[in-house]
Amino acid sequence: MSLLTVAVLAGGRSSEHEVSLSSGAAIREGLLAAGHAVLAIEIARDGRWRHQGEPVAVRPGEGLLGADVAFAALHGPYGEDGAVQGTLETLAVPYVGAGVAASALCMDKVLFKRLLRASDPPIPQVDHVAVREPRWRAQPAAVLAEIDRLGLPVFVKPAHLGSSVGIRKIADPANLPDALRRAFTHDELAIVEAFGPGIEVECAVLGLPAQPPAQPPADAPEPVAAREPVAALASEPGEISFPGEFYDYEAKYTPGGMELVIPARISPTARARVQELALRTFAEVGCEGLARVDFFVHGEHVLVNELNTMPGFTPTSVYAKLLAATGVPYPELLDRLCRLAVERHHARAMRTA
């Protein structure tokens, strides 16, 4: 199998800039361990792209520094929301992970939940209320009345951020107005979610939707021609154990802030249900390559919480650990993700030729 040159994008304009840099560093090390060549591209907080300190010039249709594939290790707005994915589409560069539409959809927690509700049958999820800042200013009493049906406690979140940035757990209704105002400092759309009973469980998904094989172009890398379509893989579920009230930013990114228990301490029936819903959610929202689906599990009752299209790849991140426990070691995981991206790119090129 031919080796690849991979452009790893890290940093970005969002509040998750530092997390992205850590993810990018870990991905570069893993790709080098797998034998691939790596081009490091850092996206500054002002949005400028640089490689080895020099500005990166991008032109539509002309690729990215000669890379075979791009791995955008970006989290949050301007990176995980379809913006950079659209840029890479314009450059005609294969890239790891969800496409433009799925990235944008999954970044919007409200649209994501609406799609789950519209699925046939509906995918079970945590109840919620969406609140836009102009409506909150105009009708605060009506908004609070809607939230009241969720019970207490509730979680107040900006709708377009990840890594638990800006999230607050509210047990006293008197604190709701302040929590909403704080969420609106990050986003004009907030989401208030009901308490999810039970334990937090996460499941990693790896793969592409199965499709008939296409004859690749003559210049396609060797592994693309050799691969057969494979249904996406759902990992062994893992249980998130943490000392605080909820799985916040510090618990996610501070060494020792959480414990990942694999396999999760759930019943065989709940385990199968988690994997089933992870794969179904992955397919329903149009994801490709990778995702991490988060759940609340209470006995045999399983609720989908969120889906992350570009999970963290830091030393404390869950996604790679779940796949490793399922038989896919880190360098192999990165290799497979890059080759899946190339495969998808050439399959689409054949359809549009």
Residues in the chain: 353
Strand 238-241 with 233-234, pairing: unpaired
308 is catalytic: yes
23 is catalytic: no
Which one of 248, 294, 335, 343 is the catalytic residue? Answer: 294
Which one of 306, 335, 339, 344 is the catalytic residue? Answer: 306
- Tokens 């909150």 correspond to 136
From residue 348, alpha-carbon distances to 154, 212, 226, 335, 342 in Å are 43, 12, 17, 20, 10
Which one of 13, 168, 292, 336 is the catalytic residue? Answer: 292
330 is catalytic: no
Are 205 and 291 spatial neighbours (Cβ–Cβ below 8 Å)?
Answer: yes
3-class secondary structure, 190: strand
Distance CA 278, CA 292 (A): 8
3-class secondary structure, 287: coil
Query: Tokens representing 35?
Result: 């034998």
Are 146 and 128 spatial neighbours (Cβ–Cβ below 8 Å)?
Answer: no
Burial class (CB in 10 A: 0-12, 13-18, 19+), 270: buried
Which one of 15, 20, 103, 163 is the catalytic residue? Answer: 163
Which one of 82, 187, 207, 253 is the catalytic residue? Answer: 253
Cβ atoms within 10 Å of 250's Cβ, excluding its own: 12
253 is catalytic: yes
- Tokens 């929301």 correspond to 81
Query: Tokens representing 84?
Result: 């950079």
- Tokens 């899946």 correspond to 340
Element (H, E) at 225: helix 222-226
What is the 8-class DSSP label of residue 235?
Answer: P
163 is catalytic: yes
294 is catalytic: yes
Query: Tokens representing 148?
Result: 């009241």
Which one of 12, 13, 16, 166 is the catalytic residue? Answer: 16
312 is catalytic: yes
335 is catalytic: no
Query: Tokens representing 279?
Result: 């794969």
Cβ atoms within 10 Å of 61's Cβ, excluding its own: 8
Distance CA 319, CA 293 (A): 10
Cite the active site residues. Answer: 16, 163, 253, 292, 294, 306, 308, 312
